[in-house]
């Protein structure tokens, strides 16, 4: 036990920094337990409280700063990348958009405490054009609140933490192996749950070439962009003539699609998750002629058929929001 405690006492701040930085960069490393244990060790003077605070804040600022600058440079594609590898790929961007648009810069504080959002919020702030100084100010405040919150939890329960350390010391490498296996099992379970949720055996897909040909036909399908309003603002690429209705607003407009025309829904998310959810919603409402655009907006762009909204207007095409009365309502 003495050796283990000595290691924590001598390297505790370093461990907190490494774990916090890894967490903010997106690695599946739980920084909170390190911070709580460190907080408990500061009570007896085994760790310097100031050193742990500085280590945790530096890890936060460096990790989030990397993603913030990446968001400034590459925009919405960074969030897509993060959510593609996330265990909650279908919801992480949506929750980040909701928090950021509701709370602005203060959302960087709230995001620290929301799983799946903390990594996505900084690049989204960068993509939305937050200034470097404003980001640094909010990030520093957020890091301080997050750090002090969990450190004081550790200080309050320091007696129990000392008991846990004693047990871990006695078990030794066995405890480490059990922890690693438990983490691996959790990641495997979440990945399996994600794959099961994305199974779309009940949903028909349409390839981008087929959609392009269908849009040129006399009776073209109705194309629905189920990205959120925030996502469309960040990424103005669009399929000409598509109606923009966010997934959460879609139930209000189902009746407007009862003209018998085929519906094609698309998104710009990993594994077409939002589009599949929209297709199931529409089919559940009795609209059976529904297909999902395979690969979403990225596949359409790769085909080279996308045009910016301004180009559509110059070419005489009706603006996307004027394609149908539903479009304007979907933006509300």
In angstroms, the CA 29 to CA 33 distance is 10
Summarize the confidence of residues 33-40 as an average pLDDT.
86
Per-residue pLDDT tens digits for 140-189: 999 999 999 999 988 988 777 666 665 555 555 565 566 667 767 766 66
Supply the pLDDT for residue 77: 72
Number of alpha helices (DSSP H) and beta strands (DSSP E) in the chain: 16, 5
Distance between CA atoms of residues 153 and 192, nearest Å: 33
Cα 332 from Cα 317, distance rounded (Å):
23
Look up residue 94 and give its two tokens.
Answer: 């949506």
Q: What is the pLDDT of residue 128?
A: 77
Q: Of 56, 54, 47, give the one whose Cα is nearest residue 18.
A: 56
For residues 251 and 281, is the Cβ–Cβ distance under 8 A? Answer: yes
Q: Which residue has the tokens 């110059």?
A: 314
Pair 296, 268: CB distance under 8 Å: yes
Both tokens of 238, joined, read 């669009």
The pLDDT of residue 33 is 84
Dihedral in degrees, nearest 10, Cα atoms 112, 196, 231, 228: -100
Domains of the chain: 2-197 (no CATH), 204-331 (3.40.250.10)
- Residue 245's φ and ψ, nearest 5 degrees, are -135, 115
Q: What is the pLDDT of residue 195?
A: 58
What the block records as the tokens of 49 is 């409280």
Task: Report pLDDT digits (tens) over 89-125.
Answer: 455 555 556 666 666 667 788 778 876 677 778 888 8
- Give 274 or 225, the one with higher predicted confidence: 225
Placement of tokens 């006492």 in the chain: 9
CA distance 327 to 262: 17
Taking only the tens place, the pLDDT of each residue in 108-118 is 887 788 766 77
End-to-end alpha-carbon separation of the chain, Å?
61
How far apart CA 107 and CA 92 sit, in angstroms, is 14
Percent above pLDDT 70 for the chain: 68
Helices 49-74, 2-25: axis angle to 10 degrees equals: 20
Residue 108: the pLDDT is: 82
More confident residue, 12 or 282: 282
pLDDT at residue 317 is higher than 50: no
Q: Are 150 and 161 in contact (CB under 8 A)?
A: no
Q: What is the pLDDT of residue 209?
A: 93
Give bridge partners of residue 224 from the DSSP assignment. 243, 265
- Report the pLDDT averaged over residues 291-308: 78
H or E element: which one contains 205? strand 204-206
Instruction: Name the percent of the chain lying above pLDDT 90.
Output: 30
Other residues' Cβ atoms within 10 Å of the Cβ of residue 241: 18
pLDDT band at 327 (very low <50, low <70, confident <90, very high): very low
Using DSSP, state whether 307 is helix, strand or coil: strand
């Amino acid at each position: 036990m003495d050796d283990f405690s000595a290691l924590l006492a001598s390297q505790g701040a370093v461990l907190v920094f490494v774990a916090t930085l890894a967490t903010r960069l997106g690695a599946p490393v739980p920084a909170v337990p390190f911070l709580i244990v460190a907080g408990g060790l500061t009570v007896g003077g085994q760790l310097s409280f100031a050193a742990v605070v500085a280590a945790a804040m530096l890890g936060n600022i460096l990790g989030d700063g990397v993603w913030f600058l990446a968001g400034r440079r590459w925009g919405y594609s960074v969030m897509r990348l993060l959510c593609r590898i996330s265990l909650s790929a279908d919801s992480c961007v949506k929750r980040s958009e909701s928090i950021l648009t509701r709370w602005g810069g203060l959302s960087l504080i709230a995001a620290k405490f929301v799983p799946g959002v903390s990594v996505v919020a900084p690049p989204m702030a960068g993509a939305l054009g937050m200034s470097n100084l404003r980001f640094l100010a909010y990030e520093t405040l957020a890091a301080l609140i997050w750090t002090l919150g969990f450190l004081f939890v550790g200080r309050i329960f320091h007696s129990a933490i000392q008991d846990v350390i004693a047990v871990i010391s006695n078990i030794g490498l066995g405890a480490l192996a059990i922890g690693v296996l438990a983490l691996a099992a959790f990641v495997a379970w979440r990945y399996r749950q994600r794959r099961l949720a994305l199974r779309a055996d009940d949903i028909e897909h349409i390839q981008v070439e087929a959609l392009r040909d269908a849009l040129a036909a006399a009776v073209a399908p109705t194309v629905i962009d189920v990205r959120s309003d925030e996502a469309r603002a960040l990424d103005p690429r669009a399929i000409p003539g598509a109606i923009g209705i966010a997934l959460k607003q879609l139930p209000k407009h189902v009746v407007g699609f009862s003209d018998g025309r085929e519906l094609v829904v698309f998104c710009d998310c990993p594994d077409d998750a939002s589009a599949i959810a929209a297709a199931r919603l529409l089919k559940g409402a009795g609209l059976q002629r529904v297909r999902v655009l395979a690969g979403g907006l990225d596949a359409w762009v790769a085909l080279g058929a996308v045009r910016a909204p301004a180009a559509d207007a110059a070419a005489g095409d009706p603006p996307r929001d004027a394609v149908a009365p539903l479009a304007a309502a979907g933006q509300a």
